Homo-oligomer: A and B are copies of this chain.
Amino acid sequence: MTTLINGDMLIGQTAVHGTATPFHAINPASGATIEPSFGTGTLADVQQACALAEQAFDVYRDTSLEERAAFLEQIAQNIVDIGPALIERAMQESGLPQARLEGERGRTVGQLRLFAKVIRDGNWLATALDSALPDRAPPRPDLRLRKIALGPVVVFGASNFPLAFSVAGGDTASALAAGCPVIVKAHGAHPGTSELVAKAVQAAVASCKLPEGVFSMLHGDGRTIGQALVTHPAIKAVGFTGSRQGGLALVRSAAQRDEPIPVYAEMSSINPMFLLPDAMAQGAAKIGSGFIDSLTMGAGQFCTNPGLVIAIDGTDLDTFCDAAVTALQGKAASTMLTPGIHAAFNDGVSRLAGASGVALLARGQTGASASAGQAGLFVTDAATFLENPALEEEIFGASSLVIKCRDIAQFKEIAEYLDGQLTATLFLTENDKTAAQALLPTLERKVGRILVNNYPTGVEVSHAMVHGGPFPATSDSRGTSVGASAIERFLRPVSYQDLPAWLLPTALQDNNPLNLWRLRDGALMQA
């Protein structure tokens, strides 16, 4: 694979140097610009990418399961084949360390391969066959259902995972798996990384002999290019990971189209951790130091970063806080993703530090990097938290707030008060059973993933993962943006009534040529 970065967009198989506002990537550690210059797209570029995607759709969605799976595997291989140049560029653009980015590349590639397996399994087709009952009055027709792809999808790359939630990340992989052409609006913080990965996808489109419109990547800002993409009639769904403000703008635009379309925006979450009394009695210090590891991982720039800790006031909480403070004071500052994110983090921490009833527990170390994020840990009490909605706002980065509760009853009160979240965590032992069982129904209503005795920053890519949750964690709690079920966001059902065999899709043929699990007259079977 090429390691050359030309500053281009990719529109189908064509490299296009954008003619609108030029820009450079910025190294957040030094503040220096990184060559080359990138050009941003025009509305004509949007039109061209959308027209190609629309043209490609019927051909692409009609590829066999095997062809589409092989395409995703080829993308994965092409990303691997870029080699160290990809990691080096991503390090420069994101300030993230090498080991983290190598791990993220593994995750990205593994995710593409998981979706190749998901495609081949074909469970996402949700096939159902109801036999004709010609002698019933009235006769029942032969009915067969499968899911098909929604149409071309726009994906907005995220800043915080320049590989796993970006050009060939989970949204792109799941949309391509479903049979949707994808147009990526690259994140401005890592345009070079985006170009390298986009070329890997583009090369896979070519070598798999797919229509070129299956994939394009554009540069440009959200307000012009992003909005133009989301409001283009050819686009049928949107995937987004980023700020609440950015996500909501897309949600509103999509809802105001002549034809409203779904937007899957993963936006904001503070990921509460509830520390139950016996778990604290057994190991408050260990929970506290582990918490700081989770809080400061990746400079705190995880969607599932633990931004809220709920515990009962007392000596166990003091022990937890002492351990956390000690651990935090030893943590080196990490370079944040962009100077803008760093500035917003500092603003957020300042606001929190100045809020009435909130006290500073500790800060992490300062650092020499231009965008060094100095972690922060704060404390307040339940009454203060419940009275000030600003304390629930996400501060993107390594900042967390401990809430001292009077008693366990306040845990439920806080859980009910909270907005929707990606995750909630319970630290517990079996002696905390009553409290945990009382909290669980509330947490189920509020979050997409409930964890016990671990930290939320790990997000496994597997079948049972949910990286989603009620608003404002996401704009659509019916989906997940990580894990095999992410494909379901880009599908819709079609029913076929009395079609002759020569017109029926392969997945619905009598003899089950794809060896799918199918619902036959209400019973699941592979026969």
8 Å CB interface, A259-275 against B? 259-260, 262
8 Å CB interface, A1-23 against B? none
- How long is the Cα–Cα vector from A130 to B117 in the complex, in angstroms? 15
Cβ distance A168 to chain B, nearest Cβ, rounded Å: 22
- How long is the Cα–Cα vector from A18 to B141 in the complex, in angstroms? 45
- How long is the Cα–Cα vector from A121 to B260 in the complex, in angstroms? 34
Choose from B436, B463, B475, B519 the contact partner of A130 (Cβ within 8 Å).
B463
Residues on the B chain within 8 Å of A259, using CB = 420, 470-472
Residue of chain B at shortest CB distance from A489: B478
A63 interface contact, C-beta 8 A: no
- Is the CB–CB distance between A462 and B58 below 8 Å? no
Q: Which of A142-150, A219-227, A353-361 contacts B (4 or more CB under 8 A)?
A: A142-150
- Is the CB–CB distance between B143 and A462 below 8 Å? yes
Cβ distance A35 to chain B, nearest Cβ, rounded Å: 36
- Is the CB–CB distance between A499 and B452 below 8 Å? yes
- Is the CB–CB distance between A464 and B495 below 8 Å? yes
Residues on the B chain within 8 Å of A499, using CB = 450, 452
A498 interface contact, C-beta 8 A: yes
Residues on the B chain within 8 Å of A496, using CB = 449-450
A406 interface contact, C-beta 8 A: no
- How long is the Cα–Cα vector from A281 to B281 in the complex, in angstroms? 84
Q: Do A150 and B477 form a contact, CB below 8 Å, given A260-B471, A450-B496, A517-B524?
A: yes
A286 interface contact, C-beta 8 A: no
- Is the CB–CB distance between A465 and B121 below 8 Å? no
- Is the CB–CB distance between A451 and B62 below 8 Å? no
Residues on the B chain within 8 Å of A128, using CB = 463-464, 484-485
A407 interface contact, C-beta 8 A: no
A251 interface contact, C-beta 8 A: yes
- Is the CB–CB distance between B519 and A460 below 8 Å? no
- Is the CB–CB distance between A430 and B502 below 8 Å? yes
A100 interface contact, C-beta 8 A: no
Cβ distance A527 to chain B, nearest Cβ, rounded Å: 13
Residue of chain B at shortest CB distance from A503: B436
Residues on the B chain within 8 Å of A452, using CB = 497-500, 503
Hey, what's the 0/1 contact readout for A116-153 against B, CB within 8 Å counting as 1?
Answer: 01000101001011100000001011011100101100
- Is the CB–CB distance between B58 and A445 below 8 Å? yes
8 Å CB interface, A420-446 against B? 420, 428, 430, 433, 436-437, 440-442, 444-445
Residues on the B chain within 8 Å of A138, using CB = 458
8 Å CB interface, A463-482 against B? 463-466, 468, 470-472, 475-480
- Is the CB–CB distance between B524 and A123 below 8 Å? yes
Choose from B123, B447, B472 the contact partner of A519 (Cβ within 8 Å).
B123
Q: Do A500 and B441 form a contact, CB below 8 Å, given A465-B145, A494-B447, A494-B449?
A: no
Residues on the B chain within 8 Å of A464, using CB = 128-130, 143-145, 495, 519
A252 interface contact, C-beta 8 A: yes
Cβ distance A398 to chain B, nearest Cβ, rounded Å: 20
Q: Do A494 and B262 form a contact, CB below 8 Å, given A463-B521, A485-B145?
A: no
Q: Do A430 and B500 form a contact, CB below 8 Å, given A255-B252, A521-B463?
A: yes
- Is the CB–CB distance between A478 and B502 below 8 Å? no
Residues on the B chain within 8 Å of A260, using CB = 251, 255, 471, 475
Residues on the B chain within 8 Å of A441, using CB = 58, 62
A351 interface contact, C-beta 8 A: no
Residues on the B chain within 8 Å of A478, using CB = 150, 262, 491-493
A98 interface contact, C-beta 8 A: no
- Is the CB–CB distance between B522 and A493 below 8 Å? no
Residues on the B chain within 8 Å of A465, using CB = 130, 143, 145, 495
- How long is the Cα–Cα vector from A57 to B416 in the complex, in angstroms? 14
Cβ distance A217 to chain B, nearest Cβ, rounded Å: 25
A454 interface contact, C-beta 8 A: yes
- Is the CB–CB distance between A477 and B462 below 8 Å? no
Choose from B148, B262, B470, B503 the contact partner of A437 (Cβ within 8 Å).
B503
Q: Could you pull out 20 A-B pairs where Cβ atoms are within 8 angstroms?
A: A57-B445, A58-B445, A123-B519, A130-B462, A143-B463, A145-B463, A145-B466, A260-B471, A428-B503, A437-B502, A437-B503, A447-B494, A449-B495, A450-B497, A451-B497, A454-B498, A463-B519, A463-B522, A466-B495, A468-B493
